[in-house]
A and B are shown apart, each in its own frame.
Chain A
Amino acid sequence: METLDTLLLSRIQFAANISFHILFPTITIALGWVLFFFRVRFAQTGDEKWMASYRFWVKIFALSFAMGVVSGITMSFQFGTNWPGFMETVGNIAGPLLAYEVLTAFFLEAVFIGIMLFGFSRVPGWLHMLATGLVAFGTTMSAFWIIVLNSWMHTPQGFEMIDGQAFATDWWAIIFNPSMPYRFAHMMLASFLTVGFLIAGVSAFRWILGDRSREVRAMLKTGVAIGALLIPVQIFMGDLHGLNTKEYQPAKVAAMEGLWETQNGAPLVLFGIPDEEARTNRMAVEIPGLASFILTHEWDGELKGLNEFVAEDGTLLHPPVAPVFWSFRVMVGTGMAMLLLSWTAVWFMWRRRALHQGRIAGHWFAVEGLPKPLLWALVPMAFSGWVATLAGWYTTEIGRQPWLVQGVMTTEMAVADVPAPMVMGTLVTYLAIYAALLVAYIGVIAYLARKAAKGEDGRANDMNHSGKAGVMALNPAE
């Protein structure tokens, strides 16, 4: 691993691609449902603020969707260009799962997104609403099949190996493999949290710029509400997922906890620098017994240490410790920041409700209650979901190494025999393009927010007409 060989370069390339890719589905999966919510609220109330929210976010949805599609196509080709061994070994399992994703999800999303984006004035309202719902459903189905396959790679079952090839014996067992329900719930919640904080952050940015429109209030409250309500659920779900991992992939949990020796009453390492040479943590700050308590719910419960996963000849059968250890802490830390910030925001908005109760009846929360520093804190948190999601995926994916499919095949077995300089060349190009696109993506979101805050997106007309207002208010070709 010390030299940049084809295996390592291919891994970095795949990691770069999949990291870039996951950013956008993480947004579209939940944003689809939020848009559906906006659309339904508009249909129910006829209140223009919901349609204004819809029109603002549907542009960001379209952009994210396109980014997800093109980076997803890249992934599907890289299976062949860089990892042919994967499909040759487990293709009989992975193939149908991927095929079902394309058949049940991709086409649904890709066809109805046209109607969702450009069909508002061409189709009846119910069909537009249905199209929005179907796109949201499609993104969720897509996530479902991918999570099924990924979970199967972590906790494979329902197959037999014949001549080095996996053959399915029980599809029910393959789909509902032990880690799938936890991973799927964890990922769905991650997506909703990402979108909640994105909406809250962008709306806070518009508020800071002086936007006091009714939709910016509605959006800010929606975003904060999603964040505040779901983050406790996510922490609980994360705990369940951890317990499941401890049962099926104890080496991963040991790396997450930075635990070298098997012990009863294992401490929770708050901080430390894992040293794989010395097989210990340097500068460790620990809370005695807490790791055992979290993972076994007993103060003196036994946890397996990393040293259990070293073969007789010294081959490491556990993942590289430091990246797993750190990713895990970044994820948990971001989650804690989300918890703190969203509930502080809820509290401030609730405290100021009285001021507005006379004037705007039925409002339990007032955006005016948010102090400036809190608004400014929400802005960078717009992308906190990305940080937590990536850190979480690094934890679980690096945590599975050296396996590609746990216990079935190693990552090394799957790599293509492509010259290293060629992989290096494509990798560098991908990285450059991805960096540029990421800058452009965030730049465009900020630009759209600025434009909307100044009322330059045509919103100015909204209040002049009743009911149908604002329908014709968008710039052409936008």
Chain B
Amino acid sequence: MLPDFANPADWLPWAFASLMGLSILIYVVLDGFDLGVGILFPLATPAEQDKMIGSIGPFWDANETWLVLAVGLLLVAFPAAHGMILTALYLPVFVMLVGLILRGVAFEFRAKARDHHKRLWNRLFFVGSLMTALAQGFMLGLYIMGLEQTLATYAFATLTAVFLAVGYSFIGSTWLIHKTEGVLQAKSVRWGRESLWGVILGIGAVSLATPLVSTRIFDKWLSFPEVIYLAPLPILSGLLILWLWRMLRAMPYAGDARSWLPFAVATALFALAYVGMAYSFYPYVVPDRLTIYEAASAPESLFIIFVGACIVVPVIAGYSVLAYTIFRGKATELRYD
């Protein structure tokens, strides 16, 4: 799977595909938890809602920027694929954008508007988060189905939409377990327990459907000896799920020990599932139609961006860590002072 590093036309598309894949994964985990918190919003009391907002307030802008980077990399590194994918997904993309607009502004408006408008913005925050998650899940489903648009693929995409929304609620709950305490934390543990099924069914559905849709992917996974090398992936995922299930039955632990663990394990689980998907589709950027090499921009242009990315991405990682460190610990209500 490794490219020829002596040939820029070979390794640059590969490097950009990796970078784009990484940004999508980071996005799914980070915006996943704050979208999830939005989806769980109506289940909490007003006071708890302020705490929930407090737990994601300093981060959500930066989390969403990973989506901009991911789609930006698709745009600049694989322009042909960008056009093909986004025109095929015109409507779900639109729904996602409306969702992102609603939740992003509701976040700010709810804190500043008059009291009797706050209810409306709270509702829009939930609706926007849910729309975004469903639309992303729907796009994931259609992408797996090779962007074919038939009744059957729509049905599958609807399933993945629901599973992803529940999956986001799950990672959102694990975030809240870490960032809250008391009654809200106990609630979050319960939400986590109750939404774990979405993760299991989601990963299961995608794992079953991908090889069935494409014989190429089927062969990639289930021929010998690949099946041996790849076996740890599903086995590890299964173990992580078991671990999460056991943890969530016993949490919160005495003295709030290891409250970060469910989020960390959930992240590992998301990452494993994601690596499995990436393996299935590589080297295609549009499933079975366009490889990353066919879709890539000119190597000269990619190189210019690559140099910048090498310098800037570590810096971004550095100050992101700084921000998460500054706002570590249990969430408080947000204050501009």
Contacts and interface: CB of A to CB of B under 8 A. Distances in A.
A, B co-complexed? yes
Interface in A372-395: none
Given A66-B107, A120-B337, A418-B87, A110 B62 contact: yes
B83 to A, nearest CB: 3
Contact of A80 (B69, B87, B319, B320): B87
A473 B337 contact: yes
Contacts of A62: 108, 336
Interface residues of B, number: 69
A358 B276 CA distance: 77
Interface string A425-457: 010010001000100100110011000000000
Contacts of B114: 447
B83 A103 contact: no
A444 B326 CA distance: 30
Interface stretch (B160-168, B259-267, B303-311): B303-311
B65 A118 contact: no
A91 B109 contact: no
A211 to B, nearest CB: 18
Interface stretch (A81-89, A191-199, A305-313): A81-89
A99 B72 contact: yes
Interface in A29-84: 55, 58-59, 62-63, 65-67, 69-74, 76-77, 79-81, 84
B104 A95 contact: no
Given A98-B76, A110-B61, A114-B323, A70 B335 contact: no
Contacts of A87: 75-76, 79, 82-83
A330 interface: no
Contacts of B304: 96, 168, 171
B320 A111 contact: yes
B144 interface: no
Interface stretch (B94-102, B226-234, B236-244, B249-257): B94-102
Contact of B68 (A73, A113, A119): A73
Given A69-B61, A81-B93, A477 B327 contact: no
Nearest to A165: B298
Interface in B7-38: none
A143 to B, nearest CB: 16
Contacts of A104: 308, 312
Interface in B296-337: 297-298, 300-301, 304-305, 308-309, 312-313, 316, 319-320, 322-323, 326-327, 333-337
A123 interface: yes
Interface stretch (B52-60, B197-205, B216-224): B52-60
B68 to A, nearest CB: 6
A298 B98 CA distance: 53
A103 B337 CA distance: 29
Given A66-B107, A74-B97, A99-B309, A416 B75 contact: no
Contacts of B93: 77, 80-81
A165 B300 CA distance: 14
B323 A168 contact: no
B213 interface: no
B86 interface: yes
A61 to B, nearest CB: 10
Contact of A66 (B58, B65, B108): B108
A115 interface: yes
B268 interface: no
B111 interface: yes
B64 A474 contact: no
Given A66-B108, A81-B87, A478-B336, A100 B308 contact: yes
A359 interface: no
A8 interface: no
A99 B61 contact: no
B112 interface: yes
B79 A88 contact: yes
Interface in B65-91: 65, 67-69, 71-77, 79-80, 82-87, 89-91
B86 A80 contact: yes
B109 A110 contact: no
Contact of A426 (B50, B94, B300): B94
15 contacts: A55-B337, A87-B82, A99-B73, A103-B309, A106-B68, A114-B59, A117-B334, A118-B335, A120-B337, A433-B98, A437-B101, A474-B336, A476-B334, A477-B50, A477-B335
Q: Which 10 A-B pairs have the closest CB atoms?
A: A84-B83, A95-B76, A80-B86, A114-B58, A91-B79, A70-B104, A87-B79, A110-B62, A110-B61, A92-B301
Interface of A: 55, 58-59, 62-63, 65-67, 69-74, 76-77, 79-81, 84-85, 87-88, 91-96, 98-100, 102-104, 106-115, 117-123, 165, 167-168, 171, 416-418, 422, 426, 429, 433, 437, 440, 443-444, 447-448, 470-474, 476-478
